[in-house]
Amino acid sequence: MKYEQLARNILRLVGGKENVISVVHCITRLRFQLKDETKADTEALKNLDGVVTVIKSGGQYQVVIGNHVPDVYKAVISIGGFQSSQSVQDEKKQNMFNRFIDVVSGIFTPTLGVLAATGMIKGFVALFVSLGWLNSSSGTYHILYAIGDSLFYFFPIFLGYTASQKFGGTPFIGMAVGAALVYPALANLTSGKALYTLFSGTVFESPVYITFLGIPVILMTYSSSVIPIILAAYFGAKVENGLKKIIPDVVKTFLVPFSTLLVVVPLTFLVIGPIATWAGKLLGQGTVAIYHLSPLVAGLLLAGFWQVFVIFGLHWGLVSIAINNLSVLGEDSILALAFAPSFAQIGAVLAVMVTTKQQKLKTLSIPAFISGVFGVTEPAIYGVTLPLKKPFIISCIAAAVGGALIGIFGAKIYMIGGLGIFGIPSFIDPKHGITFSLWGTIIAITVAFLLGFILTLLFGRNKATDHAPSRQATDQATDHNTPSGEMIASPLTGEIKALSTIEDAAFSSGAIGQGVAIEPTEGRLVSPVSGTVTALFPTKHAIGITSDEGTEILIHIGMNTVQLEGKWFTAHVTEGTRVEKGDLLIEFNIKEIQAAGFETVTPVVITNSAEYTDWRITDKKHIQAGEPILALHKTNQQHIQIGEPSR
């Protein structure tokens, strides 16, 4: 299994599988619900190879992985012995808001990939019909439309599975309840003369066509519905678990689902379904009312803060409302207003990419831009704009303008479609085809993109990105007595290599910071500066030091050596230890590490490198521990010449 070791490390650092209540994944991150978040080693996880960052929000412990998160998730599920998307232990107490976010993300995230895929097909079918490329009476149209509409039409069945898992019930019982709700024969019973009408003269007026044991049944249209099956699955899980306690083990296999279905399905048709449907319609009308108060302000605020919501996982509450709106209203304005932010983000990334003189940042920006075009913006946010701060703020401003324009044009989506450019067909009205609101959306996202690009060019440039690192050791210092720069000594004896030559993309791309790599010939790591040990990994393979001048240095001995779990590493300091330049920090056995199949090339990275505008790296090929290897200076600081210590 390709990601087995990464999965093992993640589970270990979140406090072990016994600390996991549940785990699901979205497009780029693992979403853990932990019993005790204090048991998780957040800093170690953030620095783990294969992990982008860690976010704690909405009652979830979110480990950002990237586009290959589905593969990592499968490995985590397999190694942890969990059932996919299912609660592992009794849930911990959370406030109502965190509980809501956790529930909706756990229910909807497993369906998102297929939901987006089928929505894209449905959107393109609508586009082709509008353009006259496809006849709506042709067999091709009907088959393609069936593919695109299948999941959303039978959504209660799919949500019956995921909701039952989330609530601790049997998934197939949840699916059976969902299937009963969309059973075709029941839908046909609403034709003809009604037996009588309930709640006449009110907004809840309902004709009754059938009864169950003499009790009137209010038949609703449950295809594509969301709230009824979620409530039914919650109630079903409670009933099922209660029955398990009283039904003998010898007949549990069939008698528990038998009894559960006989209780839950009729109750859903009689009570849960009608009430949930009315609640869903009220929720939909409520969001429409808020939207119509001022579409401009709604778009400005929602789009402007959308990326912040995404970072903390808070957007799930709005996504669930949007899906409900599509099911009860056939359209939604929430996700329509939130369509602009990804285009504002890639505009800012493109500006960074074309202006930066740092090759590593430019290299990192290219895949981030491409992912953002297709709606996956986490690489752009975490890898480029958020670390640089100004571009991220500018992208939020540009997104707000784009969202305001979408509100002004009155654009709505009519299906859950793809992300990024693949989401454009979602704005095609199935009844009226291509309307001005679609063109208005295209104008809005173009404005958001251009604003993100132009404003970042004008105001978002970071001096740390405007200068390429200088590798010329022959530049003369103008004043060796200035304290404005800092000389970093080599922590190892060995051969110097460019950081970009090592295999680990997190280091070679410059995502973690600028620096240099050393292939050690001696297994002694000494302090490159005078300062404080701010991080020492339990496995002793990596250490963080902050110098007295404020330079933050990360030294990572070898590649993937975290897998050795501390074997052949001996630490001589602890976190918080005050060290002087040249003090022994760690000893390690080079031969044993290499014999175990691990590289010992060691990155020496300045993690706050954005604060420095110029770099000077020694031109030596082989260096002794304690010899000058890096010289740094900030804005308006004088250069330090490598080879002479700063005073």
The catalytic residue positions are 26, 556
Per-residue H/E/C for 236-275:
HHHHHHHHHHHCCHHHHHHHHHHHHHHHHHHHHHHHHHHH
- How big is the CA angle at 406 (ends 405 and 411), to the nearest 5 degrees? 145
CB 170, CB 240: distance < 8 Å = yes
Q: What is the DSSP letter of 601?
A: -
**19: Cβ contacts below 8 Å, ≥ 6 apart:** 34, 35, 36, 39, 40
Helices 359-373, 341-355: crossing angle, 10 deg rounding:
160
CA distance 528 to 520: 15
* 3-state secondary structure (DSSP) of residue 92: coil
Going from the C-alpha of 633 to that of each of 169, 484, 609, 630, 636, the distances in angstroms are 60, 6, 10, 10, 8
Q: Which residue has the tokens 């001589």?
A: 572
Q: Which of 6, 72, 60 is nearest to 34 (CA)?
A: 60
End-to-end CA, the chain = 53
Phi-psi category of 78—alpha, beta or left, where left has phi over 0 and alpha has psi -120 to 50? alpha
How many Cα atoms are found within 13 Å in the side-chain-facing hemisphere of 67? 11
CA distance 303 to 397: 9
* Torsions phi, psi for 248 (to 5 deg): -60, 145
CA distance 494 to 490: 9
CB 576, CB 599: distance < 8 Å = no
CA distance 371 to 354: 17
Neighbours of 353 (CB within 10 A): 19
Structure tokens given for 296: 């401009």
**Which letter, b or e, does each residue of 253-271 get, where b requires 16 or more Cβ atoms within 10 Å of its Cβ?**
eeebbebbbebbbebbbbe
Question: Is the dihedral angle over the CA atoms 335, 341, 342, 344 positive or is it negative?
Answer: positive
* 3-state secondary structure (DSSP) of residue 603: strand
Starting at the earlier edge strand, list the strands of the sheet with 569-571.
524-526, 584-588, 569-571
CB 425, CB 127: distance < 8 Å = yes
Q: Which of 190, 186, 171 is nearest to 229 (CA)?
A: 171
CA distance 359 to 353: 9
Structure tokens given for 374: 């297709």
